[in-house]
Copies of this chain bind each other. A is one copy, B any other.
Amino acid sequence: MNTNLPTALLDLESHLRETTLLSSTRGLLEWDERTKMPLQGGPYRAEQIALLSGMIHQRASDARIGDWLGELEQLPLAEDRHSLHGCLVQQTRRNYEKAIKLPKSLVEEITRTTVLGQQSWVEAREHDDFAAFAPILEKIVGLKIQQAEALGYDATPYDALLDEYEPGETTSNVTRILADLREQLVPLVAAITDSANQPDSSILTRGYAADQQQQFGSRVAGLVGFDFQRGRLDTTHHPFCTDLGPHDCRITTRYDEGFFPAAFFGILHEAGHGFYELGMPDDWYGLPPGSCTSLGIHESQSRFWENMVGRGRPFWQWCLPLAAEAFPESFADLSVDQVYFAVNSVKPSLIRVEADEVTYNLHIIIRFELEQELISGQLAVSDLPDAWREKYEQYLGITPPNDADGVLQDIHWSGGMFGYFPTYALGNLYAAQFLAAMRAELGNMDQLVEQGDFQPLHDWLAKHIHQHAQRYSAAELVERATGEGLSHLPLVDYLREKLAPLYQLPASSS
C-alpha cells in the first residue's frame, strides 16, 4: 500500500473493492443458476440474488462515496481520466451520480415491473399474443422515460438510456452511422440474395455429438488463447460470458447436434468476451480502471473472434484439419473453400440470434429505430407489431408470419433494456475498424492465423483496447487505435471484400 496516497482514496478503493467482492459473488449465484442449479433451486436463488442486489445498490449510493470524491476531485490525481486514479475518481463519480439520481422507489418499480414484464413476455411469445404483453410493455416504456428524465440528457431521453450501455455515445451520432450502414447493407443483401452463386450450407448440418463438440470447442478455444486455468466452458440455454474474479472467467454455450456453427462460433464469440475480461488490469478488477468501457467495445471483442477471425479463410485453413480429426465423418471430405463459403452464408431470416454477419446489423437497426420511436413517443406500443413488419419488409425483404417470430422474439424490451440493442451493431463496426488497423499494423495477419499463431492478435488487442479498461471511452479507444472516429465504412468494406468474391457480386452492387 502506498501510504502517500490520500486517505479518501484508500477508503474509496476499499469500499469499491468490497462492493466488487459482493457483485462477483452475485455473479456466481447467477452463473450457477444458468448452468448448474437444480430445477427447484430457483425461488431461493432469487432471494439470495435479491439480497445481494440490495446490498450492492446501497453501497453504490453510500453518501460517503460523495464525500470521498469531493475531497479527491480537489487533487491533481483526479484530473486525468487516462490515469488510473483519474479514471477511478471520474468514473466513480459518473456511477455515483447515476446511483443517487434514481429515486429508490423508481429503481424498485422498474425491477418489479421488468420481472413481471419478462414473465408476461414468455407467456405472450409462447401464445403469439402481443396484445397480452402490450399493457406491461407500455408501463415499462413509461418507467424508462421516467428513468431517462431522472438521469438527465442533452438532446433526447434516449440519450440517457443509451449512455447506460455505451457511455458518452449519443443518439444522433448512432442514428447517423447506422442509417449510413443501412443504406449500404440493404442493397448488398439484395445482391447476395439475387446471386446465382450460393453456398451449400447443408455441409454443416451433419451429425455432431454434443460432448464431441464440447471437447472440440474447448480445444480450439484453448489453442486460440482462452486460458482454462483462468476460466471454464459450460452448457446453458442462453449463452453468456461472466467474470467472477480477476482470474475466473466463465463462458457458456449450447449444442445443436445437427448444426455445427451454433456452438462453435458461439464459443469463439464468448471466448472473445473472455479475452477482454481477462485482459483488463487484474489489480483493478471490478473498479473503473479494471472494467469494460462500453458494451459496444465488449461486443467488438466477441465479434472480432467469432467473425473477423473465425469466419475467415485463413482460420479454416488452420482449423479444418482439426475439425476433420474431431469429426472425421462430418469434415474429412470437405475443402477449406466449401467450409469457408458455408460459414459465410448470408440470407435474410426472421430471427436475430440466428442471423448472419450482414443481416444481423439490419435486425439491430430495426430495433434501434423502433425503440427510439417508442421512447420519444412517436410510436405507440399498440402500433409496434405493424411497424416491425413494415421494417422487416423494407430492410430485409421478408414478412414475419407472426409476432412470436417477430416483435416478440427478444427478451430485451420486456426487461427494460432500451438502449442495449445498438451496442450489438456498434460492436460490429468497432470490430471492423480494429481489424483494419490491426491488419495494417501486423502486416502478415492472414499468415499468422493460417499458422494458428494468435498471440500477435492478442497483443494488439491488449495494447490498444484491453489494458485501458475505462481509462478511455469507446470513442477515444477507436480514435487512438485506428486514427479515425466511429464509421460505417470499414465494416462495409470488410463485408464487401469478403462476400463479393464468394457470391460473385456484380461491380454495381459493391
Contacts and interface: CB of A to CB of B under 8 A. Distances in A.
Interface of A: 18, 21-22, 24-25, 28-29, 32, 36-41, 43-45, 47-48, 51-52, 228-232, 244-249, 285
A51 B22 contact: yes
A44 B232 contact: no
Contacts of A43: 247
B37 A21 contact: no
A306 to B, nearest CB: 22
Nearest to A244: B41
A24 to B, nearest CB: 7
Contacts of A21: 47-48, 51
Contact of A230 (B28, B41, B248): B41
7 contacts: A21-B47, A25-B48, A25-B52, A28-B32, A40-B230, A40-B247, A44-B245
A17 B208 CA distance: 47
Contacts of A38: 228-232, 247-249
Contacts of A228: 38
A348 to B, nearest CB: 40
A36 B232 contact: yes
A322 to B, nearest CB: 23
B25 A29 contact: yes
A265 to B, nearest CB: 23
Contact of A44 (B18, B37, B41, B285): B285
Contact of A40 (B39, B47, B51, B248): B248
Given A28-B29, A44-B246, A45-B245, 17 more contacts: A21-B47, A21-B48, A25-B25, A28-B28, A32-B32, A36-B36, A38-B228, A38-B249, A39-B229, A40-B229, A40-B247, A41-B245, A43-B247, A44-B247, A44-B248, A44-B285, A48-B245
Give me the 3 closest cross-chain CB pairs, A-B, nearest first.
Answer: A44-B245, A41-B248, A40-B247
Contacts of A229: 38-40
